Amino acid sequence: MAVCTVLGPYHFSFSLALALSSLAGLKAFTGLEELVVDNNLLGNDLQLPRLPTLHTLTLNKNQISFQALLGHLAKATPSLQYLSLLGNEACPNQLVSLDKDEDDYQRYRYFVLHKLPTLKFLDTRKVCRTEQQEAEARGAFMKVVKPKSSDMVVSHFNILLLPLSGVFAKCRYVYYGKHSEGNRFIHNDQL
């Protein structure tokens, strides 16, 4: 069941009961300004028609992991100012993945802002001037790539690690070396 409401000459509101995996039907709506397609099955193969007036796009909780998508968005939506990718693999956040932290999220922001410099608002935060400058200078290098477990080199040696307890314990006898008399106090049974 799909419901389309016309709010003005270029404002449309869509409500769909099905989970979308493609947005091919948007070709007829070239004057679209806002598009909310949260909670769908949209992936990296997402192809938008050219939407020159689209300024707001939310793709929250889809299946986007993204690199090629950002280049496509830059070409298809030149007026894009508001973008949200929360809940996707592309957007690292501590609530979804415990191995992500604030630094991962900030690198993600720099990379997205580098690819889409017209953005004024990304996810839940406004884009500040210093962040935009950092994205221009270093954003291309902020793509985080982690090796897959199959790419990692595995050592063929088994290493036995012994605990170091007692290594840094206090010793009752201290040797300073200034009055050394050699090994004359060591007996054969102590060797």
Domain-embedded: residue 29: yes
170 has a pLDDT exceeding 60: no
Highest mean pLDDT among 24-28, 46-50, 65-69, 112-116: 112-116
pLDDT attached to residue 191: 65
Tell me the residue range of the domain where 95 lies.
2-150
Determine the Cα angle at 28 with ends 27 and 31, to 5°.
95
Domain-embedded: residue 39: yes
In this structure, what token pair is assigned to residue 48?
Answer: 């938008």
- List pLDDT tens digits, range 120-151: 999 989 999 999 999 888 877 776 555 555 55
- Cα–Cα distance between 50 and 14 in angstroms, integer? 19
Q: Which CATH number belongs to the domain containing residue 10 in this structure?
A: 3.80.10.10
- List pLDDT tens digits, range 5-28: 444 455 554 544 456 666 777 888
- List pLDDT tens digits, range 52-98: 999 999 989 888 887 778 888 999 999 999 999 888 888 887 666 67
Domain-embedded: residue 179: no
154 has a pLDDT exceeding 60: no
47 has a pLDDT exceeding 90: no
- List pLDDT tens digits, range 36-45: 988 888 888 8
Domain-embedded: residue 181: no
pLDDT attached to residue 64: 84
Domain-embedded: residue 169: no
Domain-embedded: residue 190: no
- Residue 52: name the closest of 19, 29, 68 by CA: 29
Q: Which residues contact 7 (CB under 8 A, 6 or more apart)?
A: 13
Domain-embedded: residue 10: yes
pLDDT attached to residue 42: 84
pLDDT attached to residue 34: 92
- Residue 59: name the closest of 77, 79, 40, 81 by CA: 40
Question: How many domains is the chain built from?
Answer: 1
- Cα–Cα distance between 65 and 44 in angstroms, integer? 6
Domain-embedded: residue 159: no
Between 69 and 1, name the one with better pLDDT. 69
100 has a pLDDT exceeding 80: no
pLDDT attached to residue 144: 58
**Residue with the two structure tokens 């922001």:** 109
